[in-house]
Copies of this chain bind each other. A is one copy, B any other.
């Protein structure tokens, strides 16, 4: 049973009020090193079976049709996460 991760971010030219709110809050909490924040979405899709190239292609299709709004968002990454993670926290 595999897992595919999809990352969706607002397009660079689109205003991101959530990101702006976070960027404003960071210095008030003492975090001074950050000049900009953008907030997007991360999806984890559990696959019935192995993550093949065909499955990745299907997820890429679903990411554009369902998981993102192509007018305001970019699908920045579609990747096999079956082994990834747990290593980099």
Contacts and interface: CB of A to CB of B under 8 A. Distances in A.
Interface of A: 1, 7-9, 19, 22, 25-26, 29, 31, 33-49, 55, 58, 61-62, 65-67, 75-79, 85, 88-89
Contacts of A55: 33
A62 B31 CA distance: 7
Identical copies of this chain, number: 2
B45 A42 contact: no
A43 to B, nearest CB: 5
Nearest to A62: B31
A42 B40 contact: yes
Contacts of A61: 31
Contacts of A47: 33-35
Contact of A46 (B34, B44, B85, B89): B34
